[in-house]
Structure 1
Amino acid sequence: MRLFETRDGDDGLPGPERFLAVLALVSGTLMAVVDTTMINLALPSIAADLDVLPAQVVWVTNMFQVVSAAFLLVFAGLSELATRRRIYLFGLSTFVLAALGAALSRSLETLLVFRALQGLGAAATLSIGPSLYRLIFPSRLLGSALGLSALVVGGGYAAGPTLSGLVLSFTHWPWLFALNVPLGLCALLLGLRALPRETPRQGSFDVPGALLSMLMLAGLFLTMNAVGHSAPAWQSVGFGAGMLAAGAAFIRRQRRAPYPLLPLHLFREKRFTLAVSASGLAFIGQGLAFVALSFLYQEKMGLSPLLTAWLFTPWPLALMVVGPLAGRLADRINPSVLSTVGLGVLAVGFIALALVDESTGIAGSLWRVALCGIGFGLFQPPNNREMMASLPAARSANASGVMSTTRTVGQSLGVALVGAVLALGLAVQVTLWLGAASALLSLAASAARIPLAHRAMQQRASSRRA
């Protein structure tokens, strides 16, 4: 297979070691992604079994997401001192132990503690996963490697609800957590065996910056959650004010810290900044689509929850097929061009979905969702490649942390937008028009970097010939 061929002059790991290291990364990523989609379906069962209210049981999901979002930048920064290998193995170990604890929990309080620990472990693995791909694979295969990552993420999103439904059909919800234990142990053993070692950076860790980052990101998520669930105005305002204060203090700290958690000079690289902007806007669209379509299909079209879940599957399935192909193409042609084309397709898909009404049949809904998945598959791996390749390899951990944080923040903003639109009494199609607008803004950011990326590719070609 092309991904595991070794050529003279290749950086990264040799082919056989590369294969084992990728298995460890794929297993860890798959666990974290499947968990986010699998547990939501089990919330009613957990509420009934633990005898708690629906408003309380949603924190089984929220606790995981808040902690995961809060620690993404922290672990990306720590990986420079402790090495990415150690941080990733710590994340896997924590996630597996917490999954076992969650499976054995018999009260909501205990379950929430272990869900927080799972979020901590997921943050450690997801924050540095993309940078490990850059460490494992040679530069010439970076796009293909990130296409493989898109395949895994798409497969996780597609498999999560189905796997959850199957498990709950035959047994109880604790088994959803218990399934992570054998898979996680296998990933941990593979990681110990195959993940590359590196020399840690000398210097101190930005503890004040880490604390401010946690407050800022947790506050942002809580603000979006309050808006999305139509919480009292004082909650949204309070969380928002805390988030803004922490964000301002964080930026001030990063400008003065000798070893900043997030070096702000990274954003002087226009290719990187434009790639981050395009990613955040695209994930806003994805986040609002996944929630808005649930309301559209069930309330406007009168479909069952099971059929609604089935109508979602073309998006991740298309991402699984198109993402790896787009990643391979991004190693050969300008990745910004691919990303821009993908965003155009995504915008058309959103517009088509916004035009859905009661007369739209199943087939009409399927092709619209598939079109969005194709567009996102064309966009994401090339854009991630551009984000990683636009910075020096020594800054890949920072780029990885920004990438994961941008995805989490974008999806949370999208969900909050749906809640805000519905709270105002507007039609759910309004959110899909907002998704189209978000995709078009993302397209503009992506198109702006095409000449910059073209110039960088010419410079690399010239240096290779020299």
Structure 2
Amino acid sequence: MIFTLLTIFSMPQTLPSDGLPVPQRYGAILAIALGITVAVLDGAIANVALPTIARDLQASPAASIWIVNAYQLAIIVSLLSLSFLGDILGYRRVYQCGLVVFTCTSLFCALSDSLGMLTFARVLQGFGGAALMSVNTALIRIIYPQRYLGRGMGINSLIVAVSTAAGPTVAAAVLSVASWQWLFLINVPVGLGALFLAFRFLPDNPQKASEQRFDIPSAIMNALTFGLLISALSGFAQGQSGKLVAAELVALVVIGVVFIRRQLRLPVPLLPVDLLRIPVFSLSLGTSVCSFCAQMLAMVSLPFFLQTVLHRDEVATGLLLTPWPLATMVMAPIAGRLIERYHAGLLGAIGLGCFAIGLFSLALLPASPDNWSIIWRMMICGAGFGLFQSPNNHTIISSAPRHRSGGASGMLGTARLLGQTSGAALVALMFNLFSDQGTHASLLLAGGFSTLAAIVSALRLTQPGPQQKAG
């Protein structure tokens, strides 16, 4: 129904052979920026508000965790299915539909008066967020001329990285002046603005894979496979029953094997195993998973260290974490231009090496560090991460055939979410294993993952970059 309405009321923009003209390009990228900002932020801001929401809705702390988990699970189980629909129906249409769902369900979240109602609203909101995340980079590939694609990826990487890192700070700022409902209400005007821009400026696919058929059994198995993976990871990290975790792992292996075997038989699979046969594509995805796991290990554990060990208050904690996204904000657009001249494997290895240095230096902080000692380490982490992310995303998208951009975009988002979810689960595991030294262990593990990601990135130097292939 939503797809039909969007078709009736929106007028597809004409698409030049290579990207959009400048005025339309700016409007299109702004539509994507606004949508992705609220979708990524909503994955992080609810964490800070959980105690307040639980108290207001008279829910236990353990039960309130589902406010966060429901959103993340809905995204990860539907991301690849929605990116596949983007290849068939058009990335523009899927993105517009996602904006409608996300905006309406944000209002639903704000009006919820029970934990069950809010959890259900968050599931629906997660599906809207998944639609936005599934095709955003595929749209950028259409919006920007091939020679400037790195710049578009730089902007997108900047938005994702800053939104992820700034989530707790934004939430604390909103809660200091308003109730928790406003964390969701502010999405409504932003979503409506993005929807207007999407109708006005977003282009249609230059070619749709209309001959492809959406495989419902694959979509169901995809949802079960990723849902069981995340549930088993989180359950193990939080010390749930060993029998339950083991049962989830057995189900994961059985369903996962059947799922992958089915994908191998399909001419155009929902899980793009055909794209994974491209070496630079699969190496870039591995780099992305490891790096986002490292990022989440640090960003989730550091607030505990700053508040419980160093006794900084919430405002000081937010300010000390801010240099990280600020450094990323500066570096990501620069990296987007550097990819036009240098191999992504080299830029990624250098950036992730700097990221690892920053993480290990945070793990080796003195017992009573001054603020500057924390700030410069945060800046190294943010700059290194920013130097890596834009070229890596550029490589993932441009190494796939143009008509498979949706599948590549979905895999990029899935890799990020898998890394972030695994990182958050590992933080819980580190705190369970090492108690007071949980942050120290998390940062050392994060440095290890970043070092591994740098090595995997360097392996790409043996592969020609997408821009070299195009030439």
> Shorter-chain-normalised TM-score: which range?
over 0.9
Residue 176 of structure 2 aligns to a residue whose secondary structure is helix
Deviation at 1:34, TM superposition (A): 1.7
Residue 390 (structure 1) shift: 1.4
**Aligned counterpart, 1:16:** 23
Q: Which residue among 220, 224, 231 is the counterpart of 1:222?
A: 231
Which piece of structure 1 moves more, 70-79 or 193-202? 193-202
Could you say if the C-alpha distance between residues 235 and 365 of structure 1 is closer, same or farther in structure 2, counting changes exceeding 3 Å?
farther
CA distance in 2, matches of 1:161, 1:443: 28
- Sequence identity (%): 39
Give CA deviations for 1:119-147 in whole Å, capped at 9, x if unaligned.
00000100111111001111111110011
Distance, in Å, in 1 between the alignment partners of 2:415 and 2:146 is 23
Q: What SS does the aligned partner of 1:358 have?
A: coil
Q: Does 1:106 align with 2:110?
A: no
Question: How big is the shift at 1:163?
Answer: 3.1
For the aligned residue pairs, the C-alpha RMSD in angstroms reads 1.7
Task: Summarize the Cα distance change of 1:316–1:334 in structure 2 as closer, same or farther, 3 Å threshold.
Answer: same
CA distance in 1, matches of 2:467, 2:195: 37
SS of match in other structure, 1:39: helix
Confirm or deny that 1:318 pairs with 2:327: yes
Give me the whole-angstrom Cα distance separating, in 2, the residues matched to 1:196 and 1:282.
32
Residue of structure 2 in register with 1:39 after alignment: 46
Moved over 4 A (4+): 456-459
Residue 308 of structure 2 corresponds to residue 308 of structure 1 = no
Q: What's the counterpart of residue 5 of structure 1?
A: none
Q: Deviations over 1:68-112 (max 9, x none)?
A: 111111111111222111111111110001001111111111111
What is the match of residue 6 of structure 1? none
Q: Using the alignment, how far apart are the partners of 1:353 and 1:160 within structure 2? A: 21
Alpha-carbon distance in 1 for matches of 2:469, 2:432: 51
| 1:341–1:379 CA contact under 8 A, matched in 2 | yes
Deviation at 1:457, TM superposition (A): 4.5
Q: Which amino acid aligns with 2:185?
A: A
Q: Of 60, 82, 85, which aligns to 1:78?
A: 85
**1:414-453 correspondence to structure 2 within 5 Å:** 414-425=423-434, 427-428=437-438, 429-453=440-464
State how far apart, in whole Å, the 2-side matches of 1:258 and 1:458 are: 28
Matches within 5 A, 1:85-100: 85-100=92-107
Say if 1:306 and 1:233 are closer, same or farther in 2 by CA, change over 3 A: farther
- Pick the aligned partner of 2:201 from 194, 200, 209: 194
Q: CA deviation at 1:450?
A: 1.2
> Which residue in 2 is equivalent to 1:379?
388
Candidates 107, 110, 125, aligned match of 1:118: 125
Q: Distance in 1 between matches of 2:432 and 2:409?
A: 35
Pair 1:53 & 2:64 matched: no
Q: Which range is displaced more, 250-259 or 88-97?
A: 250-259
User: Which residue of 179, 204, 209 maps to 1:172?
Assistant: 179
Cα displacement string for residues 169-192 of structure 1 (whole angstroms, at most 9, x for unaligned residues): 222111211111111011111111
Return closer, same or farther for 1:459/1:235 CA change in 2, 3 Å cut-off: closer
Is residue 2:220 matched to residue 1:211? Answer: yes
The Cα of 1:159 is off from its aligned counterpart by 4.3
| CA contact 2:287–2:453 (8 Å) conserved in 1 | yes
Determine the structure 2 residue equivalent to 1:285. 294
Aligned to 1:424, the other structure's residue is in SS state helix
Distance 1:400 1:216 in 2: 19
Q: Pick closer, same or farther for the CA change 1:460–1:258 going to 2, 3 Å.
A: closer
State the 1:257 CA deviation: 2.3
- Equivalent position SS for 1:449: helix
1:242 CA displacement? 2.4
Residues 307 and 234 of structure 1: is their aligned pair in 2 closer, same or farther, counting only changes over 3 Å? farther
Q: For residue 11 of structure 2, what is the aligned residue in structure 1?
A: none
Equivalent residue for 2:252? Answer: 243
Distance 2:341 2:203 in 1: 26
Alignment of 1:258-277 (within 5 A): 258-277=267-286
Q: 1:22 to 1:458 in 2, by over 3 A?
A: closer
Contact 1:280 1:407 in 2 (8 A): yes
- Name the amino acid aligned to 1:67: A
CA drift at 1:317:
1.3
What is the CA deviation profile of residues 417-442 of structure 1, one whole-angstrom value per residue up to 9, with x for unaligned ones? 22222222363222222111111111
**What number of residue pairs does the alignment pair up?**
452
Contact 1:300 1:357 survives alignment (8 Å): no
Q: CA separation in 2, counterparts of 1:421 and 1:186?
A: 42
Aligned pair in 2 of structure 1 residues 458, 101: CA closer, same or farther (>3 Å)? Answer: closer
Aligned to 2:9: none
Q: Does 1:405 align with 2:414?
A: yes
Cα distance in 1 for residues equivalent to 2:26 and 2:445: 41
Moved more, 207-216 or 415-424: 415-424
Q: Return the alpha-carbon distance in structure 2 between the equivalents of residues 308 and 227 of structure 1.
A: 29
Give the alignment's TM-score, normalised by structure 1. 0.93
Match of 1:340 in 2: 349
Give the whole-Å Cα distance in 2 for the aligned partners of 1:246 and 1:420. Answer: 26
